[in-house]
A and B are shown apart, each in its own frame.
Chain A
Amino acid sequence: MNINPIELSGILSIITFVISLIGLVILYGIVKRTKEKMRVGVLFVLLGIVSFILLKFFEIVNIFQIVGQTFMTDILEIIFILLLVFGVWELRSLIMGLSDFGQAFVLTSKEKYEDNLVSIVKNARGVCYVTIEKPYKKIVDLFNLYGINSSSMQFIDATGEKGDAENVIAIKNTPHDIKITVDKVLKEKNIKVVVIDNVESVKAIKKFELPRFVQDMTLLIKANRAQGFFIGKTENLEVQTLNDIAMFVDKVTGDVKW
């Protein structure tokens, strides 16, 4: 079967045109649900898609000679590329965050500790919660209080309490035990988020080794394509240790100005 190259090109342009229209609708939905700080970037990409659709439209009318040759396609091509570049530039922090499975150091005061924990886990799926200070039962009670269902979470309890539920693994509070257990859980289960609560409660470790523990953990979590949240209560951590730990994470968040 012989297909005229012009016809083939036209068919391809029509298919791309239709796909772009669907993409436009999806992206519009994303813009509406996007947080303020990301909206500009997504809007640029949206406008880029609009210019791409127009570009395809003019290509189609050119191919089928509905109108004569026009330079509109060239202009739209430039606009499309420019908008896409601007959009990606605006979204660069988000894209970078996604690409390296962001590791965050959450600095919290004792007063805001619960709020910070809840904000991390409330919408997260596939959570592995490593509790080092408080027994997992207390953490479950806390989540219940905030209406968070923790039954699907995997707990690792390093407080010395015995785990009596299916989703709890009781371990010793040592960096080695924490590392190998988290690694095992990450490999065996579909974990997307690891919460280490909290870094200063890790025992059998010298103070200067704490940043190394955090670095090892970030490497392990990243290697398993998950996000890591390392909770640090500022009342218990020296500024120098905070600064050293911060070197190995992608961002420092929480309620404490630091």
Chain B
Amino acid sequence: MVKTVMIIDDEQDLKEMLSLLLESNGFKTVSASNGKDALKILKQLEQKPDLVIIDMFMPEMSGRQVCENIRKDEKLKDLKLAFLTVAAFSGYGKQMLKELNVLDYILKPYDIDDLIRRINKMIES
């Protein structure tokens, strides 16, 4: 069965590139440009995505806030989440990832093979 990945990123080019990358590797993608839209789309979707990838820095609602809102929502709280970021988390950041039950983070720029491997791993976890 085709797996669906949702991408939430305010940077249009990066979002489209990631969508293309994932689609060319057999995934179906859904995308949103900010947290509010993403939450709206997620609530409307009958078939929830297998993984939601969230950019850390977005206007209006940061990646962490999007994540908090998903965890608060009864229908969305079990979604698998990952962050998009430019640097590895350490110390306090790692603790927050645990608290928010975020599976992993994807570093930009992507290494394609590593990206696909990590996404598959997260979906199967």
Q: Which residues of A contact B (CB under 8 A)?
A: 96, 100, 102-103, 105, 206, 208-209, 211-212, 215, 218-219, 240, 243-244, 246-252
> A201 vs B57: C-alpha distance in the bound complex, in angstroms?
19
**A219 closest partner in B (C-beta):** B87
> A211 vs B58: C-alpha distance in the bound complex, in angstroms?
10
CB distance A247 to B64 under 8 Å?
yes
CB distance A100 to B90 under 8 Å?
yes
CB distance B87 to A244 under 8 Å?
no
Counting CB contacts under 8 A, is B33 at the interface? no
> A215 vs B108: C-alpha distance in the bound complex, in angstroms?
13
Chain B, residues 107-118, CB within 8 Å of chain A (1/0): the string is: 000000000000
Residues on A with C-beta less than 8 A from B92 are 105, 246-247, 249-252
Counting CB contacts under 8 A, is B119 at the interface? no
Number of chain B interface residues as a range = 10 to 19
Contact A244:B64 (CB < 8 A) given known A211-B57, A212-B57, A215-B86: yes
Contact A250:B90 (CB < 8 A) given known A240-B62, A243-B64: yes
Residues on A with C-beta less than 8 A from B65 are 240, 244
Residue from B56, B65, B89, B91 whose CB has the most chain A CB atoms within 10 Å: B91
**B58 closest partner in A (C-beta):** A208
A to B contact number (C-beta, < 8 Å): 54
CB distance A209 to B57 under 8 Å?
yes
Distance between A205 CB and nearest chain B CB, rounded to angstroms:
12
Residues on B with C-beta less than 8 A from A249 are 91-93
Distance between A129 CB and nearest chain B CB, rounded to angstroms:
23
Distance between A138 CB and nearest chain B CB, rounded to angstroms:
30
Residues on A with C-beta less than 8 A from B56 are 211-212, 215, 244, 247
**A213 closest partner in B (C-beta):** B57
Cross-chain contact of A251 among B58, B59, B91 (Cβ < 8 A): B91
Counting CB contacts under 8 A, is B60 at the interface? yes
Cross-chain contact of A206 among B59, B85, B89 (Cβ < 8 A): B59
Cross-chain contact of A247 among B59, B86, B96 (Cβ < 8 A): B96
Residues on A with C-beta less than 8 A from B90 are 100, 250
Residues on B with C-beta less than 8 A from A240 are 62, 65
Residues on B with C-beta less than 8 A from A243 are 64, 96
Residues on B with C-beta less than 8 A from A248 are 87, 89, 93
Residues on A with C-beta less than 8 A from B85 are 215
Residues on A with C-beta less than 8 A from B59 are 206, 208
Residues on A with C-beta less than 8 A from B96 are 243, 246-247
B45-79: which have CB < 8 Å to A? 56-60, 62, 64-65
> A252 vs B92: C-alpha distance in the bound complex, in angstroms?
7
